[in-house]
Amino acid sequence: MVAIVTRSEVLAPLWSTPLALLFLDGSHTEESARRDQDAWVAKLAVGGTLAIHDVFPDPADGGQAPYGVYTRVLESGEFTELPGVGSMRLLRRDR
C-alpha cells in the first residue's frame, strides 16, 4: 500500500488502476464533494466498495454534501447499499 496526499483533481486524471475500496472523506462543501465524486467513483471496480463518511440525511445533524454524493451514487442504479456504521455509508459497485 502506498499513501498519496494531494488534491483529487491533481491525482485522479493520472490514476488508471481500478480501485477495490474508495473512501470519500473530504471537505463538506457541495463543490468539493461533487469534484471528488466525479474524479473517483468511476474508477471503482465492479465489486468494489465505496465508503462515504459523514452522511447525514437530516441537515440538523451535519453537512449535506456527503449525503448528496451518497444519494446520487445510489440513484445511479450501479450500486447496492451495504450495512454502514454511524454516519459511514457503504455501497458496493454492481456494474
Q: Which residues are catalytic?
A: 28
Decide: 23 and 8 in contact? Cβ < 8 Å. Answer: no
Phi-psi region for residue 86, left (φ > 0), alpha (ψ -120 to 50) or beta? left
Non-local (6+) Cβ contacts of 20 within 8 A are: 45, 47, 48, 49
